[in-house]
Amino acid sequence: MNAMEEMSKYRHEKVLFVNNEKAGLKAIIAVHNTNLGPAIGGCRLWPYESYDAALFDVLRLSRGMSHKNAVAGLAHGGGKGVIIADPSQKTEAMFEAFAEAVNQLGGEYITAEDVNTDCDDALVMLRKTKHICGLPQNSGDPSPYTARGIWQGIRATAKVVLERDSLEGVTVAVQGLGKVGYDLCRLLHNDGAKLVVGNLRNKAALERAADEFGAKVVATNEILSAECDILAPCALGAIINPTTIPTLRCKAVAGAANNQILDDASALALKGRGIYYAPDFVINGGGVINAAAEVDGVYDEKAVLEKVDNIYNTIEHILSESKRTGEPEGIIATRYAESIIYG
């Protein structure tokens, strides 16, 4: 993969490659856009199969953060960091070195927690950089706010697609039971939804979901094709693709994962099957809304929750527009986001 060509394709401003052998750190930080303000986006730790795979992911994720922050009305651009490692390999030295790399960007990128990183890791990074949010003494763990936004988006999806004012009896298949996915299951269960769950790594979470929420557990390779009203992908991206689209048995896709749809052709294929899509960078904005409140002034949880709950209105508008025009939801949402970013 040619890094410069990929940067130009998506209009990225900067990409920093980090190789700190002493700390055992291999990482990439991508700054997509700073037109609206310093870029915010979490630091993800994942055992990527190749450096190209890591670059592909960080470029898509950082662009998605620009769109997410714009639609959420935040005075921030989008960025993202990825550390290439197995979660079992993470060390304090690794996160201190990552924080020092963040400093090289001079405040253009503000990091936070993400997949396989948490508040404890954020506190380690705080030793070496001030360009960080999501600290436990301030806004804290973003995952409950992300889950709340997904729940609101699913409620809006049910209203537009299923013409239901309630989630009572609606079947939702949740792929991935990490912090966000599990919190989402709790919210959906409390609203009377029926749950189908699948998870790649944490089998104990599946057992808890079955016990606590009465969830039906299916094999990891069956969750995307489970019969349901709404599919909620809450793991990694690019899972809506030419291979999976023919197997989907849902009426809508609305979940927490970033970049759920592989490409524009897949978006059109999904639409061709009559399946609605709640754009991921809109529906999963709760976490960054919470984190940005820490950066931008005195943290006010009430104001944060008002912004997170407004995700319902945004998703309802996008899906209604798509229903009226036939245009893919992602295109509608991207056009709106880029009109804010680029004017």
Q: Return the active site residues.
A: 80
- Give dist(CA 63, CA 245) in Å, integer: 24
- Give dist(CA 56, CA 258) in Å, integer: 13
Write a three-state SS string for the chain.
CCHHHHHHHHCCCEEEEEEECCCCEEEEEEEEECCCCCEECCEEEECCCCHHHHHHHHHHHHHHHHHHHHHCCCCCEEEEEEEECCHHHCCHHHHHHHHHHHHCCCCCEEECCCCCCCHHHHHHHHCCCCCECCCCCCCCCCHHHHHHHHHHHHHHHHHHHHCCCCCCCCEEEEECCCHHHHHHHHHHHHCCCEEEEECCCCHHHHHHHHHHHCCEECCHHHHHHCCCCEEEECCCCCCECCCCHHHCCCCEECCCCCCCECCHHHHHHHHHCCCEECCHHHHCCHHHHHHHHHHHCCCCHHHHHHHHHCHHHHHHHHHHHHHHHCCCHHHHHHHHHHHHHHC
CA 291 to chain CA mean position, Å: 14
